[in-house]
Amino acid sequence: MFALCDCNNFYASAERLFRPELNGKPIVVLSNNDGCVIARSEEAKACGIKMGDPEFLVRDLIKKFGIEVFSSNYVLYGDMSERVMHNLARWFPKLDVYSIDEAFGWLGGIKGLQHYIPEVRKSVVRNTGIPVSIGVAPTKTLAKLANKLSKKTNGVMVLDNDEKITAAVKEFPVHDLWGVGRQHYKKFEALGIRTAAELRNMPEMWFKQNMTIMGQRMWNELWGRPAIPLEVMREVKKGITVSRSFRNYIEDPGVLAEALTLYASRLAEKLRNEKLRCLYLQVFLYTNKNREDHPQHFPSHTHKLLIASNSTTDLVSIAVRVSARLFRPGVKYRKAGVIATGLVPESELQLNAFYDHDHGKKDVVSAVLDKLNLAYGRGTLRMATEGYEKKWRLKHEYLSQGYTTRWSDIIKVK
């Protein structure tokens, strides 16, 4: 049996934990650049704010209901997430951390789940202050479904026999199923398939033909046969991305180079943190696809490195060079990013016989960079091409404090 544990309204709950006067009040958390709503308390949902709503379109609702607004504070959410996962890990023989606010727990032969699961839930809420919901079923897909249903009751739903599963899928809307997005839903709608029960009654081959092998797995999972295994070692990443929207449009290649310098520097830091180097560096630019009156341009290029690297100077110089080639005059760019792929462990550096490598000099520079920036704050020492003014930098007008990660921000008790 699998348990899917999910934090309720995670970012909103994390913000409210340190502002208890907001209990019972509507609050929302905005995406980076204060662009759109990515988390809502139950009270905010009741005000009619929807997931993904652009902030400027719901500004009137926010004012009308006095909704408290927060910018994303990922340092805080990351730290709270660690606490929740640490607590969950004590209750399950194996834990598969699936996202910042969700984990699959494997229950092995644990008996008496109807009593055990509520205990898990109570313990996590007591120890972290974050409310969680838990759904239990024989497969991951059904556990996700049980979890959704649990949110309407007391936060726990255990589907441990066929009768309970059949009852649960009977009226469950297909678009709420794990693995069904907008495109698949459109197809189901055209065929008149509304519920999970109706969907799983389709033949296996129909799933395979219409939804590739992913659909075939879903079909098996809906019938209680596990097709998606637990992944306890999820941390081996395939790629690492740093990308951001700009506060304003960028139309100047020099300013674009500033942004790419910052992103590539952050990417190099992330690689070094994970003790990885990359063999490929992809650079991409985006225009605003919501503006039909703007010329659109989504160029991208993947550069192959001769030797895998995680050095700031290497990645920055490639990113700046590539971005200059991708840039087209007269286009308003909205977003840019860098993606590192072909990741290899730092310890397994493969040298190139035809390349005059630097015998580790760049590693020394990177180490100095990391040491100074750790001691004196991120960005203390940086590449000159990053610029000084940075008018394109993210908007973060409603940022809360680093309550659990910065000494000066710790809450004082009178």
Partner DNA sequence: TCTGGGGTCCTAGGACCC
The answer to the question of residue 212 lying near DNA (CB under 7 A) is yes
* Rounded Cα gap, residues 97 and 4, in angstroms: 10
The answer to the question of residue 239 lying near DNA (CB under 7 A) is yes
Backbone angles phi, psi at 285, to 5 degrees: -125, 145
Q: Shortest gap between Cβ of 238 and DNA (angstroms)?
A: 4
The answer to the question of residue 142 lying near DNA (CB under 7 A) is no
The answer to the question of residue 290 lying near DNA (CB under 7 A) is yes
The answer to the question of residue 185 lying near DNA (CB under 7 A) is yes
The answer to the question of residue 209 lying near DNA (CB under 7 A) is no
Q: Judged by CB, which is closer to DNA: 288, or 313?
A: 288
Distances from the Cα of 89 to the Cαs of 96, 102, 150, in angstroms? 9, 12, 21
For DNA, how many residues bind (rule: CB under 7 A)?
A: 50
Query: What letter represents residue 179's amino acid?
Result: G
Q: Shortest gap between Cβ of 377 and DNA (angstroms)?
A: 19
The DSSP result for 65-104, as a single string, is HT-EEE---HHHHHHHHHHHHHHHHTT-SEEEEEETTEEE
- Contact window for DNA (CB under 7 A) among 121-129, 181-189, 349-357, 373-381: 181-189
Say how many C-beta atoms besides its own lie within 10 A of residue 379's C-beta: 11
The answer to the question of residue 35 lying near DNA (CB under 7 A) is yes
**Of the residues 65, 98, 206, 398, which one makes contact with DNA according to CB under 7 A:** 98
Q: Shortest gap between Cβ of 298 and DNA (angstroms)?
A: 8
**Of the residues 36, 257, 259, 268, which one makes contact with DNA according to CB under 7 A:** 36
Distances from the Cα of 267 to the Cαs of 31, 276, 338, 393, in angstroms? 20, 11, 7, 17
* Rounded Cα gap, residues 184 and 174, in angstroms: 10
Distances from the Cα of 172 to the Cαs of 155, 166, 194, 294, in angstroms? 17, 10, 8, 42
Report the candidate in 211, 369, 233, 239 with the shortest Cα–Cα distance to residue 302: 239
* Rounded Cα gap, residues 28 and 49, in angstroms: 9
Report the candidate in 237, 244, 235, 287 with the shortest Cα–Cα distance to residue 264: 244
The answer to the question of residue 102 lying near DNA (CB under 7 A) is yes
Query: Which positions from 355 through 374 interact with DNA, judged by CB under 7 A?
Result: none
**Of the residues 20, 24, 52, 108, which one makes contact with DNA according to CB under 7 A:** 52
The answer to the question of residue 203 lying near DNA (CB under 7 A) is no
Q: Judged by CB, which is closer to DNA: 31, or 313?
A: 31
Structure tokens belonging to residue 89: 């890990």
Secondary structure E strands in 66-205: 68-70, 94-99, 102-106, 132-137, 156-158
**Of the residues 152, 238, 359, 412, which one makes contact with DNA according to CB under 7 A:** 238
**Of the residues 15, 43, 96, 101, which one makes contact with DNA according to CB under 7 A:** 101
The answer to the question of residue 350 lying near DNA (CB under 7 A) is no
The answer to the question of residue 40 lying near DNA (CB under 7 A) is no
Query: Which positions from 245 through 284 interact with DNA, judged by CB under 7 A?
Result: 245, 249, 270, 280
- Contact window for DNA (CB under 7 A) among 180-188, 189-197, 321-329, 365-373: 180-188
- Contact window for DNA (CB under 7 A) among 19-27, 152-160, 177-185, 375-383: 177-185
- Contact window for DNA (CB under 7 A) among 14-22, 154-162, 243-251, 372-380: 243-251
Q: Shortest gap between Cβ of 414 and DNA (angstroms)?
A: 36
Residue located via tokens 């991951």: 140
3-class state of residue 129 by DSSP: coil
The answer to the question of residue 213 lying near DNA (CB under 7 A) is yes
3-class state of residue 35 by DSSP: coil
Tell me how many degrees the CA angle 138-143-147 measures, rounded to the nearest 5.
150
The answer to the question of residue 214 lying near DNA (CB under 7 A) is yes
**Of the residues 23, 161, 296, 302, which one makes contact with DNA according to CB under 7 A:** 302
Structure tokens belonging to residue 296: 């659109």
Q: Judged by CB, which is closer to DNA: 52, or 377?
A: 52
Report the candidate in 34, 20, 29 with the shortest Cα–Cα distance to residue 68: 29
The answer to the question of residue 152 lying near DNA (CB under 7 A) is no
The answer to the question of residue 154 lying near DNA (CB under 7 A) is no
Q: Judged by CB, which is closer to DNA: 98, or 398?
A: 98
Are 40 and 28 in contact by the 8 Å Cβ rule? The answer is: yes
**β-bridge partners, 320:** none
Residue located via tokens 């000494």: 407
**Interface residue list for DNA (CB under 7 A):** 31-33, 35-36, 38, 52, 54, 56, 98-102, 144, 177-185, 212-214, 237-245, 249, 270, 280, 288, 290-291, 300, 302, 304, 334-335, 337, 339, 394
